[in-house]
Chains A and B, each alone.
Chain A
Amino acid sequence: EAQVTQNPRYLITVTGKKLTVTCSQNMNHEYMSWYRQDPGLGLRQIYYSMNVEVTDKGDVPEGYKVSRKEKRNFPLILESPSPNQTSLYFCASSSESSNQPQHFGDGTRLSIL
């Protein structure tokens, strides 16, 4: 089954404790991206990747890092999480770029205390 898998689905942690949210897709997609979703603000793009070793900033990249060492994986790293990063996070992938249908994971709800 074609899917985008995120882990963990839920995480409660404390300020400053590094964390990684993993994202994996099994569709051989080149384009992957991370979004955060906050009430009233909608989905905002954090980072995206056009292909392996090619990443770029979205609209809200501050406080986040990503890497794309393999085509299928695109982890999101919070080196020193802060409470304003409490949010619902989604990973997405598509075959070529943002002008193709995006396949989303089921989300990761992060709470930073």
Chain B
Amino acid sequence: SQKIEQNSEALNIQEGKTATLTCNYTNYSPAYLQWYRQDPGRGPVFLLLIRENEKEKRKERLKVTFDTTLKQSLFHITASQPADSATYLCALDGAGGYNKLIFGAGTRLAVHP
């Protein structure tokens, strides 16, 4: 079955720097991959979706890349701010098409002033 690996250790960076989070998957290449942000005590909030035929997607200070050869997606936040501190989850389609969604455990990002 598909497995997703996100760095379980928190990522600590200085305000203004670029944060880079990694999402690796182990088996088949998904048709799409999604990134979410989750704040403590809240539900995940959708950020970006990238499809298998797209190499890169951007939205304001956010950038996602998708490398099906490496089986990896990278999530970048440029000019990071303390307000970007949260847990970031990646998710991809499960086996059998567009019915199931599998999430990684998430990586906690802390941006320090």
Q: Number of A interface residues at 8 Å Cβ cutoff, please give it.
A: 28
Cα of A22 to Cα of B92 in the assembled complex, Å: 26
Cα of A40 to Cα of B6 in the assembled complex, Å: 11
Interface check A20, CB cutoff 8 A: no
A107 contacts B42, C-beta separation under 8 Å = yes
- A42-B101 contact, Cβ under 8 Å, with A90-B44, A104-B43: no
B43 contacts A105, C-beta separation under 8 Å = yes
- Looking at the assembled complex, report how far the CB atom of A101 sits from the nearest CB atom of chain B, in whole angstroms: 4
With a cutoff of 8 Å between Cβ atoms, the chain A residues found around residue B106 in the complex are 42
Instruction: Give the interface residue-count category, chain B.
Output: 20 to 34
Cα of A105 to Cα of B31 in the assembled complex, Å: 25
Cα of A69 to Cα of B29 in the assembled complex, Å: 35
B104 contacts A42, C-beta separation under 8 Å = yes
Question: From A4, which residue of chain B is reached at the shortest CB distance?
Answer: B43
Interface check A97, CB cutoff 8 A: yes
Interface check B98, CB cutoff 8 A: yes
Contact with A along B81-103 (1 / 0, CB 8 A): 00000000101011000111111
Cα of A50 to Cα of B31 in the assembled complex, Å: 18
B44 contacts A98, C-beta separation under 8 Å = no
Mark B residues whose CB is within 8 Å of A. 4, 8, 31-32, 34, 36, 41-46, 49, 89, 91, 93-94, 98-106
